[in-house]
Amino acid sequence: MENVILLPVQQEFHDFMKMEPGVPKNIAYYRQMMGRTFTEANICKKDGCIYYSCTDMSFKKSKNSYYVQRKNRNGFTVDKKGKISVWFGKNIYEIPHIDKVFQYFNFNWITNSRIYPYITKGILEKMIAGKITNSTEIVKEYFKKMHINASPSLFIKFLDKCDSSKVEILRVAGVAKDLNHYFEDNIKLRTATMSNPYPQDSYTRNQLLNDMIQEAQILGKKIDYTWSLNRLKEVHKEWTEEIMKIEIESLDDVSVNGIDYFDKFTPEGFKLLKTQKEVFTEGSLMKHCVYTAYWNTIKNGNYLAYHVNYKGEEATLGINIYNDRVVFNQCYSRYNQSVSDELRLHVMMFVDTLNHELKKEKYFLTKLITKTKEQYVELI
């Protein structure tokens, strides 16, 4: 039997083990050791099989002494035929210190840990058997298994530049017309330089694409990652409206009680959102949480929401309604982006004017009397 320690336990562990019972050891336990976990990883070869285990150890105190609690919850076995059994139903890349295993097997050609999630049990079997000897072959085998049509070598370049999760890659692979274009687009973004800059609208582009992935999944569509920003906006609008048309069918299209009163104070360029459908539509088109976070407050008469269009700049304005005044809450454009100083000043002036008009019409006094009557009715 051959046993190789790949990750030795820290020296502090051994030092504490050697300490004699007494107050100094108690001090060390309560101040340094209690609650700490020490890890040891090793490979054992026995009867033609290979066993990798990762053991967590911690000190526990009994009445008069200390003992070590060991938990072995990670590892795998390679049997005589080269077949791997991963313990506790985990994936290869989830096993702690798997990089130490790769070093043990001399897989020195793995130079980027971002490839780890793509090493499946079957791929590791082929690596140990010498049938896979480089990173490109790992990706080629993984793409074949997942039925992904893309260039393995291009994906290797992508991994060198981009830190996207495997979940994200699989999401994109399911909706991309050509996954290679996604890789190329992101490589270009990460390698942009002063002499070869990436477009300034890349942030907006990425936001649109992120939204469109889910929309494509819902509608069964494909995204072309060579589309221009204008084309992306156009398609995104089409898909959003198609989904929204289905979603709003069950929503109420009746004005919130009492909200029509504010119509007479609404100037040009402002649209008061008065129904559940209107608030939902605003949140869907502007890509923010006005519906999910504020609809109940609007319905209860404590919040006003407006769609604002000022000199071509669009935004959503939120106003709190208190017992004695209305107060500016927030104003954001699409994706909760900040608005221009000019638009912000414009809406602040509107809130001031609204306050003045409401006080002139004694709106708050009427609201207070109504609320008092409702409370009185509840009491009796």
pLDDT tens figures, 305-344? 999 999 999 999 999 998 888 999 999 999 889 999 999 9
User: How many Å apart are CA 316 and CA 309, to the nearest integer?
Assistant: 9
Contacts for 78 with CB less than 8 Å, ≥ 6 apart: 49, 50, 51, 84, 125, 128
Domain assignment present for 254: no
Place of tokens 């700490």: 36
pLDDT at 113 over 60: yes
Same domain, 182 and 155: yes
User: What's the domain count of the chain?
Assistant: 4
User: How many Å apart are CA 85 and CA 51, to the nearest integer?
Assistant: 10
Same domain, 112 and 100: no
DSSP states along 196-265: SPPPTTHHHHHHHHHHHHHHHHHHT--B-TT--HHHHHHHHHHHHHHHHHHHGGGS--SPPTTGGGGGGG
Domain assignment present for 317: yes
Q: pLDDT, tens digit, for every residue of 8-35?
A: 999 999 999 999 999 999 999 999 999 9
Q: End-to-end CA distance of the chain: give it in Å, rounded.
A: 86
Same domain, 111 and 99: no
Contact yes or no for 123/142 (Cβ under 8 A): yes
The three-point CA angle 201-204-210 to 5° equals 140
Domain assignment present for 302: yes
Q: Which long-range CB contacts under 8 A does 129-137 form with residues at least 24 apart?
A: 129/82, 133/109, 134/109, 135/109, 135/110, 135/111
Q: pLDDT, tens digit, for every residue of 193-229?
A: 555 665 666 767 888 898 899 999 999 999 999 999 8
Query: For the stretch 260-283, what's the b/e string if a residue is b when 16 or more beta carbons lie within 10 angstroms of its beta carbon?
Result: eebeebeeebbebbbbbbbbbbbb
pLDDT at 221 (0 to 100): 96
Tell me if residue 352 falls in helix, strand or coil.
Answer: helix
Q: Which residues pair with 304 in a beta bridge?
A: 319
- Which tokens is 56 given? 């967590």
Sheet holding 66-78, edge to edge: 2-7, 38-46, 49-61, 66-78, 84-86
Same domain, 284 and 369: yes
**Closest to 311 in 3D by CA, of 287, 278, 339, 280:** 339
Domain assignment present for 182: yes
Domain assignment present for 47: yes
Same domain, 3 and 88: yes
Q: pLDDT, tens digit, for every residue of 46-86?
A: 999 999 999 999 999 998 899 999 998 899 999 999 999 99
Place of tokens 């409702």: 374
Contact yes or no for 274/251 (Cβ under 8 A): no
Same domain, 223 and 280: no
For range 120-135, the mean pLDDT? 96
- Which tokens is 236 given? 């995104």
Contacts for 116 with CB less than 8 Å, ≥ 6 apart: 92, 93, 98, 99
Q: pLDDT, tens digit, for every residue of 142-190?
A: 999 999 999 999 999 999 999 899 999 999 999 999 999 999 989 988 8
Tell me if residue 172 falls in helix, strand or coil.
Answer: helix
User: How many Å apart are CA 317 and CA 348, to the nearest integer?
Assistant: 10
Domain assignment present for 310: yes
Same domain, 278 and 360: yes
Identify the domain boundary among 217, 249, 281. Answer: 249
Q: Which helix (H) or strand (E) holds 58?
A: strand 49-61
pLDDT at 302 (0 to 100): 92
Rounded to two decimals, what is the model's pTM?
0.73
Q: Which helix (H) or strand (E) holds 99?
A: helix 98-104
Domain assignment present for 142: yes
* 66-78 and 49-61 strand pairing: antiparallel
pLDDT at 318 (0 to 100): 96
Amino acid at 283: G
- Which tokens is 163 given? 């830190």
Same domain, 245 and 268: no
- Which tokens is 71 given? 């938990």
Same domain, 16 and 68: yes
Place of tokens 């007494």: 22
**Closest to 320 in 3D by CA, of 358, 369, 267:** 358
Same domain, 167 and 267: no
Contacts for 79 with CB less than 8 Å, ≥ 6 apart: 49, 85
Identify the domain boundary among 226, 249, 272. Answer: 249
| Beta carbons within 10 angstroms of residue 130's beta carbon | 8
**370 lies in which domain range?**
259-376
Domain assignment present for 278: yes
Same domain, 74 and 5: yes
Same domain, 221 and 286: no
